[in-house]
Chain A
Amino acid sequence: MTVFHFFNCAILTFGPHAVYYSATPLSEYDTLGTSVKAALVYLGTALIKLVCIATFLKVPENDNFDPYQELLKALIGFIDVAGLYFALTQLTHRNISQNHKFQAVGLGWAFADSVLHRLAPLWVGARGLEFTYEYILQGLEANANLVFTVSLAGLVSLMWLRKNKPKTLIPIIYVCAGILATMPSITSYLRRETFCLETAVQWWKVKPIFFTRGFSVECNCIAEGSPSSQCRMLNASKQTLSIHIQISNCRF
């Protein structure tokens, strides 16, 4: 039963990545190499971020919102952006179109993120007899992270790979990129302000047998700027609101 639960949570956490790869044209153009390279770049970026956090941030003594620490955390979030830039531009990829390149890089990035952050807790925790909703929430977070990373990769590719951007949309692109890069800080700030997230998670833990709906939904609108008709993906996302479901689990 418990290995069953582990299997369930594993397919929730890692399934969407595999589905994304096989459903979109990525599988037709065989962009696996790109994703693997992006995963390795993510590893390097994560190490650099760790070193920076350890060097520059203090251990928080109390729970208050310290603006300087949060600013530093936000700045370190830009290392993410730099890593994505490196992965997109500096590495040699096979001859694939821009759209597929950023999707492949985003996918590889998100997959590495999920494996590094979530596989070990899942393996150790979900196999026990004790049941908690924690791992299901973690899997949902992995899904949200996938969307988040692919959109960030898209923004980075817009910023640096496209030469012919419409003038009016440039500031919006940069602002959106900035918001996405500092998303973890924003969510931790919001969590301190609103307690509904905490109580929702608490409530879930008390009733394991019955399903409850208590998560709050944050909507983010991603504006894409390309008028090109080749990219159906971007057109589709222009019409849909991408819904970020963020539930607990601080990223830092």
Chain B
Amino acid sequence: MAGRKGREGEMLESVYSVLALVFILVACVELCDAATVVDVYRLIQYDLSGVPFGSRFASLNHHAGSLPFAPGADLSRTVVIIPVREINLTLIRDCITQGKALGGFLLLLPQKLSPGNRKYAIERDRSQGKELMRNLLFDLEQLLIHANIPYPVYFAFEDDKINTVLADVKRNDATGQPASATTGGYKLLVSTSEPKKLTSPTITNIQAWLPGLKADGDANQLPTIAIVASYDTFGAAPALSVGSDSNGSGVVALLEIARLFSRLYSNPKTRGRYNLLFGLTSGGPYNYNGTQKWLRSLDQRMRESIDYAICLNSIGSWDNEIWIHVSKPPENAYIKQIFESFLNVAEELGVKVGLKHKKINVSNPRVAWEHEQFSRSRVTAVTLSELSVAPELLESSGGLFDSRQFVNETAVTRSVKLVAESLAKHIYGHQGKKIQIFADGSSLAVNPFYIESWLDLLSRTPRVAPFLKKNDPFILTLKKELSDHVAEVNVQHEVLDGMFTFYDLTSATLNIYQVASVTFDLLLLLVLGSYLILLFSFLVITTRGVDDLISLFRRPTSRKVKTA
């Protein structure tokens, strides 16, 4: 008897513990139930020689607001949603410079620029709007990169859901009360950890060596011509910095030139007496740090055998004028020779080539063009670029506006032809003769599909160097592509110079919740309470009579009367 009771007691206890466990598990259930979930990309956060720049925070948990904000309103717990089309740069600039306390910014970029957008056609009749947008994005980017912003700044692409949210928020704001806990509205939530410093970011240089024809008995080392392009980018939103023009166009041109010359060199009869050295360098926006390290790592003899180097930088959106930038004076014999060969080919192609000279200031650490790093190592080099003026630090390095629509495949094709023909003229000694080696329609023609598919790939790959790991698939792709054309490919890993420090967390997901105000909940509680009380009284009256209801409240006094 006692044993049975004991067993029953144990069973009951185990049942209770199971129930408790179930309750605890159930309490932990949390489903994602947001009205809208959006991919957002964070503004870059970096330190330049210890000075902080960019957005210093990542996590967000505030109410949504919109422009124009009421003067004197407390916005420290509000995230302002601004579509870039309607942005007022002076207002933003004032906000930032005055250090106004804000919950955060959510900047909405036009849908056209989204990487998922497949409409690449360049519409000529709307180029005016595109120019305006381009300038606006450029100014916005420069403002944000060079400011120290103590709250999160995120970029997102406009779509229907976010537009409806923004319209709602604008409507609510128009009534005068900014959103907060007591008035309801939308709540934006990005739950991430705090951004951490990236320790020892690596930059990777890829070099490919195409040897020339060494005749028997020729003891001298063959001269080398180097073709170099930097492949990494820097922009306000590192997860969106695809840099189609700066410098995706240069990378694509380099790959196509490598392909063409590897075809020429595959047959010993057509192999030239020059070695070709192709270099894909990283660290471009940071004063061409990678190029400097790559040159230093090169064998002394190899470096001295380089006749000249052609650096490709932004050759994707020019019409009929392109520039060659040099640091040696134009009267230099080598420079004259290079420039003339380019001029001849340009005449045949019907385009104009100009020469720009910029002296190197050795004391100034700023390296504006890649050829300057070569010049500092005593190698003759030129840069071919559509830009006529040297860009400042962190300018023209692949920003928000540098997406696939702003690059023209025909411009890249033309540049490839220009460089390849002038190289061939130099290598095979055809100066002055009207011979077209890479003629259209021949087996050595520049392949537009190759160029287009590589441009598409580059326009989908953000390539900010500190966020590219050593064995990033993109770097491996470049290496594989070069090794398809050229036998000897080497990859070199270096650490980025100490001047720049980067922080992680470049993209996140934003949850937008529609919340009701606290007053709504209190009101509902009041209504429900009165409903239940009414129901109770109604039921008591109908089933037991009104006297019973009154007696519920009078019971204590009546008892006292009775006992007395």
Residue A125 is within 8 A (CB to CB) of chain B in the complex? yes
Say yes or no: A23-B535 contact (C-beta < 8 A), given A129-B187, A233-B543: yes
Q: Min CB distance, A71 to chain B, in Å?
A: 37
CB-based contact B518/A11 at 8 Å = no
A24 and B29 contacting across the interface, CB-CB below 8 Å: no
User: Is B532 a contact of A124 with CB atoms below 8 Å?
Assistant: no
Q: A11-B532, A23-B535 are in contact. Are A130 and B542 (CB under 8 A)?
A: no
B33, B187, B542: which contacts A233 (Cβ < 8 A)? B542
A208-B516, A209-B516 given; A236·B542 CB < 8 A = yes
A11 contacts B543, C-beta separation under 8 Å: no
Q: Which residues of B contact A4 (CB under 8 A)?
A: 518, 521, 525
Q: How far is the CB of B185 from chain A (nearest CB, A)?
A: 8
A19-B536 contact in complex given A1-B521, A236-B542, C-beta closer than 8 Å: yes
Are A208 and B184 closer than 8 Å at their CB atoms? yes
CA distance A15 to B184 in the complex (A): 27
Mask: chain A, 94-129; 1 = CB below 8 Å from B; 0 = not: 000000000000000000000000000001110111
User: Could you tell me the distance between the alpha carbons of A130 and B35 in the complex, rounded to whole angstroms?
Assistant: 7
Given A11-B532, A22-B536, A23-B539; A131-B518 close (CB under 8 Å)? no
Judge whether B535 and A19 touch: CB under 8 Å: yes
A residues within 8 A CB of B31? 124-125, 128
Among B35, B517, B524, B544, which residue has the most Cβ atoms of chain A within 10 A? B524
Instruction: Given A11-B528, A12-B528, A15-B528, check contact A125 B33 (CB 8 Å).
Output: yes
For the complex formed, measure the closest distance between the CB of B495 and the CB atoms of chain A, giving whole angstroms: 43
Contacts of A5 in B (CB 8 A): 516, 521, 524
Q: Which residues of A contact B538 (CB under 8 A)?
A: 23
Asked if A187 is at the interface (CB within 8 A of a chain B CB), the reply is no
Say yes or no for A232: interface residue by CB 8 A criterion. Answer: yes
Taking a contact as CB atoms under 8 Å apart, the answer to whether A8 and B528 are in contact is yes
**Is A130 touching B543 in the complex (CB atoms < 8 A)?**
no
Q: How far is the CB of A8 from chain B (nearest CB, A)?
A: 5
Given A130-B515, A232-B542, A232-B543, A19 and B525 contact (CB-CB distance below 8 Å): no
Minimum C-beta distance from A251 to chain B (A): 23
A25 part of interface (Cβ distance < 8 Å):
yes
Which of A19, A128, A233 has its CB near the most chain B CB atoms (within 10 A)?
Answer: A19
Task: Give complex CA distance A78, B540 in Å.
Answer: 32
Bound: A19/B538 CA distance, A: 10
B520: CB under 8 A from chain A?
yes
26 pairs from A and B in contact (CB 8 Å cutoff): A1-B515, A4-B518, A4-B521, A4-B525, A5-B524, A8-B528, A11-B528, A15-B532, A19-B532, A19-B536, A23-B536, A23-B537, A23-B543, A25-B543, A25-B544, A123-B29, A125-B31, A128-B31, A129-B513, A130-B513, A131-B184, A131-B514, A136-B524, A208-B516, A209-B184, A209-B516
The 8 closest A-B pairs by CB, nearest first: A23-B539, A131-B516, A128-B33, A129-B513, A24-B543, A236-B542, A209-B184, A130-B513
Known: A4-B521, A130-B35, A130-B513; 12 extra A-B contacts, CB below 8 A, are: A1-B181, A5-B521, A19-B532, A19-B536, A20-B535, A22-B536, A128-B33, A131-B515, A208-B184, A209-B183, A233-B542, A233-B543
